[in-house]
C-alpha cells in the first residue's frame, strides 16, 4: 500500500513538474512575432483581429526591463488603431505579458499617448508632426512612427508641424 502511494505521489510530482516546465515556457513571448501574436489574443474590440496587418511601431522602457510596445493595426489603406502592450523582459528578447491597454489616448490624427510608469509614452504616426513641446523643451520627431517616453506626466504638451503650428 505504501509503495502504491509512493508511486502515485511520484507520478503526480512528475506531472506537476512537466506542466510547470511547459507552462512557463509557453508563456514567454519571443520577438516581434510573439508580441503581435499576444496582441491578437488580447485585443477584444476588433472584429478582424486575426487577419488585419499588425506591426510593432516602437517601445518605451522603464526600470530597465518594463516595456510598453506600441502595436499598430492596419496598412496605408486602412484606419490605424494603436494598442499599447506592456511586458516585462525576463531574458534578452524574451518577455512576459503584463497588460494590453484598451487603445491609447488620442491627441490628434495618428498621435496617441498612454500612461506608463510615472509618465507618458507617446506615439506619433503623423508625418505632419515635426516636434513635441513639453514645457520649455522641444523634442524633434525624427522618424515616423516615432515613440517617445516622458518620465513624468506633463501639465502641458503640444505637437507642432514644420511651421510651428499646433496640430489638433
pLDDT in tens, 122-139: 999 999 999 999 999 999
What is the structure's pLDDT at 37? 95
Diameter of the chain measured on Cα atoms:
86
Mean pLDDT of the chain: 86
Q: Which residues, at least 6 apart from 5, have a Cβ–Cβ distance to it below 8 Å?
A: none
Question: What's the pTM?
Answer: 0.80
pLDDT, one tens digit per residue, over 39-87 is: 999 998 888 888 899 999 999 999 989 999 999 998 888 889 999 999 9
CA distance 116 to 134: 17
Q: Which residues, at least 6 apart from 161, have a Cβ–Cβ distance to it below 8 Å?
A: 128, 129, 130, 167
Looking at residues 116-121, what average pLDDT do you find? 96
pLDDT, one tens digit per residue, over 132-162 is: 999 999 999 999 999 999 999 999 999 999 9
Amino acid at each position: 500500500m505504501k509503495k502504491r502511494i509512493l508511486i502515485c505521489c511520484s507520478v503526480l510530482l512528475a506531472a506537476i513538474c512537466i506542466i510547470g516546465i511547459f507552462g512557463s515556457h509557453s508563456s514567454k513571448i519571443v520577438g516581434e512575432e510573439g508580441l503581435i501574436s499576444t496582441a491578437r489574443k488580447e485585443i477584444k474590440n476588433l472584429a478582424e483581429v486575426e487577419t488585419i496587418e499588425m506591426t510593432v511601431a516602437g517601445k518605451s522602457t522603464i526600470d530597465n526591463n518594463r516595456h510598453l510596445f506600441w502595436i499598430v493595426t492596419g496598412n496605408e489603406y486602412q484606419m490605424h488603431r494603436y494598442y499599447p502592450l506592456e511586458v516585462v523582459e525576463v531574458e534578452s528578447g524574451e518577455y512576459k505579458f503584463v497588460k494590453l491597454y484598451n487603445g491609447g489616448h488620442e491627441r490628434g490624427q495618428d498621435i496617441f499617448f498612454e500612461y506608463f510608469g510615472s509618465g507618458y509614452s507617446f506615439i506619433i504616426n503623423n508625418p505632419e508632426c515635426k516636434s513635441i513641446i513639453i514645457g520649455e523643451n522641444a523634442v524633434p520627431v525624427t522618424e515616423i512612427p516615432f515613440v517617445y517616453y516622458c518620465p513624468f506626466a506633463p501639465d502641458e504638451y503640444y505637437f507642432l508641424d514644420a511651421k510651428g503650428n499646433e496640430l489638433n
